C-alpha cells in the first residue's frame, strides 16, 4: 500500500496551513528541494542569548526559557538537514551544554520552569538530574563530527553507567531509544556499543513493548509504539527486529490513519493551537517515514 498523490497533497496543505514555520521549512527541505538555510534560520529562531533553545520548541510549553531537551532537538534537526558543522557545535552549543552539566558528567533532560507561562503539568515536576537521553545524543554527535574536548570523558563515563543502571526501564520510549542509538552508532567503544544494541533488541522484542492492537487509538503514540517508531527506515539499526510483513502492515495502518484534512493526529497539546502544532509535527514525521520506505506515489 502507498500514500496516493492526492493524500500526499492533503498532508502538504495541512502542514503549510497549520504547522509551525520549522515544520514548513523542514517539509520544503525533504519534499520540495528547500534550502537548508531556511531550516537553519527556523531552528535559530528558538535560540536564547545563553545559547540554549526554548520558546516552545516542543509545543508542550510556551515558556521562552532554555531547556536541555530543546537544545538537543535543535542540534539533531541541524544535523539531519546537513546544516551542522564542528564549528557551530563548539561555538553555539557547547558553552550552554557545559554550563548545565551536572557533577555526574551528564546534562539534565529538562528544567522545571521558573516562569508562569502555560505548560503541561509534567514540566512542573520534572527531575532535574542528568539524563541518558540528552547526554547520549550530544556525545554521539560530538563523536560524529570528530570533536575532542575534555567534557566528553566524564560524559562518556556517565552514559555507560546509565546504560548499566536503567537497563530496559525506558525502552518503551521511542523518543529516547533513537537518541541512545546516536551515541552507540558513533562511539569509539564499539565492543560495548554492540553488546548494548543487542540488549536493546532483546528487550524490545521480548518485553511486550510493541503495541500490537491496531484498534487502539493511541497506537503509535507515546507509550504505545509500533515497528516504524523504532525502524523509521530500512537503514535503521533496529530494522532487523521486524519482519517485512510487520513493517508493511504497520505502514498500511499508518496510511489508513490519515484524517480527511490531511493530518496525522496525536492527543498532545495544551490548547487547540498547540494540538495543531503537534499534528504538524506528527504529519511531517509520517511523511518522512513513508518517503524512507518509498511509499508515496510519485
Residue with cell 530496559: 168
Closest CA to 160 of 129, 202, 191: 191
pLDDT in tens, 247-283: 999 999 999 999 999 999 999 999 999 999 999 999 9
Closest CA to 281 of 263, 297, 293, 296: 263
User: What pLDDT score does 207 carry?
Assistant: 80
Report residue 195's pLDDT band, with 50, 70 and 90 as the boundaries.
very high
User: What pLDDT score does 215 carry?
Assistant: 92
pLDDT in tens, 200-253: 999 999 888 999 999 999 999 999 999 999 999 999 999 999 999 999 999 999
Q: Cβ(48)–Cβ(64) under 8 Å? A: yes
Q: How far apart are the two ends of the chain, measured CA to CA in Å?
A: 13
Residue spans of alpha helices (H) in 50-189: 68-80, 86-88, 94-99, 121-124, 132-144, 151-166, 177-186
Cβ-in-10-Å burial (0-12, 13-18, 19+) of 189 comes to: middle
In this structure, what C-alpha cell is assigned to residue 142?
560530538
The pLDDT of residue 114 is above 90? no
Domain residue extents for the chain: 1-21+210-298, 35-209
Q: What is the pTM of this model?
A: 0.96
User: What pLDDT score does 122 carry?
Assistant: 87
Main-chain dihedrals φ then ψ at residue 3, nearest 5 degrees: -80, 125
pLDDT in tens, 122-176: 888 999 999 999 999 999 999 999 999 999 999 999 999 999 999 999 899 999 9
Residue spans of alpha helices (H) in the chain: 5-18, 21-31, 36-44, 68-80, 86-88, 94-99, 121-124, 132-144, 151-166, 177-186, 190-206, 227-230, 244-256, 272-292
Number of C-alpha atoms within 13 angstroms, CB side, residue 261? 12
The pLDDT of residue 44 is above 90? yes
Distance CA 32, CA 16 (A): 12
Distance CA 114, CA 54 (A): 13
Closest CA to 262 of 84, 65, 19, 1: 19
In this structure, what C-alpha cell is assigned to residue 14?
495541512
User: What pLDDT score does 49 carry?
Assistant: 96
Amino acid at each position: 500500500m502507498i500514500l496516493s498523490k492526492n493524500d500526499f497533497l492533503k498532508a502538504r496543505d495541512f502542514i503549510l496551513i497549520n504547522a509551525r514555520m520549522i515544520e514548513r521549512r523542514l517539509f520544503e527541505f525533504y519534499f520540495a528541494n528547500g534550502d537548508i538555510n531556511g531550516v537553519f534560520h527556523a531552528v535559530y529562531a528558538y535560540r536564547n542569548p545563553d545559547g540554549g533553545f526554548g520558546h516552545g520548541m516542543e509545543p508542550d510549553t510556551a515558556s521562552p526559557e532554555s531547556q536541555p531537551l530543546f537544545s538537543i532537538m535543535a542540534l539533531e534537526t541541524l544535523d539531519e538537514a546537513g546544516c551542522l558543522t564542528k564549528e557551530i557545535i563548539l561555538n553555539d552549543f557547547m558553552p550552554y551544554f557545559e554550563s548545565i552539566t551536572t557533577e555526574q558528567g551528564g546534562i539534565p533532560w529538562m528544567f522545571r520552569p521558573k516562569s508562569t507561562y502555560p505548560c503541561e503539568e509534567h514540566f512542573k515536576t520534572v527531575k532535574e538530574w542528568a539524563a541518558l537521553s540528552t547526554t547520549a545524543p550530544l556525545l554521539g554527535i560530538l563523536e560524529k563530527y570528530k570533536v575532542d574536548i575534555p567534557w566528553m570523558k566524564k560524559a562518556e563515563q556517565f552514559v555507560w553507567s546509565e546504560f548499566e543502571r536503567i537497563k530496559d526501564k525506558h525502552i518503551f520510549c521511542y523518543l529516547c531509544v533513537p537518541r541512545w542509538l546516536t551515541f552507540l552508532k558513533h562511539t569509539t567503544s564499539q565492543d560495548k556499543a554492540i553488546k548494548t544494541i543487542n540488549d536493546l533488541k532483546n528487550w524490545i522484542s521480548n518485553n511486550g513493548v510493541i503495541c500490537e492492537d491496531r484498534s487502539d487509538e493511541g497506537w503509535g503514540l507515546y507509550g504505545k509504539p509500533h515497528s516504524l517508531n523504532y525502524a523509521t527506515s530500512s537503514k535503521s539499526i533496529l530494522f532487523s527486529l521486524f519482519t517485512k510483513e510487520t513493517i508493511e502492515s504497520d505502514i498500511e495502518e499508518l496510511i489508513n490513519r490519515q484524517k480527511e484534512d490531511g493530518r496525522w493526529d496525536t492527543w498532545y497539546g495544551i490548547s487547540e493551537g498547540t494540538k495543531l502544532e503537534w499534528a504538524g509535527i506528527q504529519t511531517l514525521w509520517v511523511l518522512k517515514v513513508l518517503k524512507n520506505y518509498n511509499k508515496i506515489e510519485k
